[in-house]
């Protein structure tokens, strides 16, 4: 048994680091969410809604993101029509937690690790805002394609960015980089 532990130690350390970080960040995020009433939107999701409204307003005049009175989501009105809702799952925090957990599991120097986590998380957040803004406009113009846009194309884009960031990290900055 000791032979296998020694042989697979890097893999086991990776798994322990990844899942330990993932569980810790997820528990902290759930603790944060528990501070909000059941029918209220959390402040991160609210900020995502405000940022989405700002981005769309650069190109179009008629955009409004409003808090739902009795439900924990934001209503997005585009050109005067209710198009989509922004829920807690749209704020990309779960994607950022997954990203951070991988970076920690393949950590490099403390400075590089922290800097890459901050820059990567900001990139994911910004892409998420642009993703939601594009979804609003595209679903408004192509409502029959909302399933493909929301469930397939746009998750592929955000997870694609995370994958590219992981590849860059492992090949350039982690302790395993050549």
Residue 126 confidence class, pLDDT cut points 50, 70, 90: very high
Residue 177 confidence class, pLDDT cut points 50, 70, 90: low
Q: What average pLDDT does this structure show over 101-127?
A: 94
Question: Which pLDDT score, from 0 to 100, does residue 154 have?
Answer: 86
The domain segmentation of the chain, as residue ranges, is 2-173
Measured at the alpha carbon of residue 13, what is the angle toward residues 11 and 19, in degrees to the nearest 5?
Answer: 100
Question: Which pLDDT score, from 0 to 100, does residue 27 have?
Answer: 97
Residue 57 confidence class, pLDDT cut points 50, 70, 90: very high
Rg (CA), the chain: 19
Q: Which is nearest to 147 in space by CA: 73, 155, 86, 133?
A: 155
Burial of 7 (0-12, 13-18, 19+ CB in 10 A): exposed
Instruction: List pLDDT tens digits, range 153-171.
Output: 888 999 999 999 999 999 9
49: number of CA atoms within 13 Å, CB side? 24
Instruction: List pLDDT tens digits, range 8-54.
Output: 887 888 899 999 999 999 999 999 999 888 778 999 999 999 999 99
- pTM value is 0.90
């Amino acid at each position: 048994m000791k032979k296998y532990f020694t042989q697979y130690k890097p893999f086991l350390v990776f798994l322990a680091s990844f899942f330990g970080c993932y569980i810790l960040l997820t528990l902290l995020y759930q603790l944060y969410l528990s501070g909000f009433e059941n029918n209220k939107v959390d402040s991160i999701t609210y900020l995502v809604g405000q940022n989405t409204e700002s981005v769309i307003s650069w190109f179009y005049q008629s955009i409004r993101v409003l808090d739902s009175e009795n439900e924990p989501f934001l209503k997005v009105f585009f050109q005067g029509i209710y198009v989509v809702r922004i829920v807690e799952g749209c704020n990309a925090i779960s994607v950022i937690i997954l990203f951070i957990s991988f970076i920690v599991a393949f950590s490099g120097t403390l400075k590089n690790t922290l800097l890459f986590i901050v820059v990567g998380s900001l990139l994911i957040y910004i892409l998420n805002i642009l993703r939601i803004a594009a979804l609003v406009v595209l679903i408004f113009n192509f409502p029959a394609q909302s399933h493909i846009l929301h469930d397939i194309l746009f998750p592929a884009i955000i997870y694609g960015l995370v994958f590219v960031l992981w590849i860059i990290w492992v090949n350039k900055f982690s302790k395993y980089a050549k």
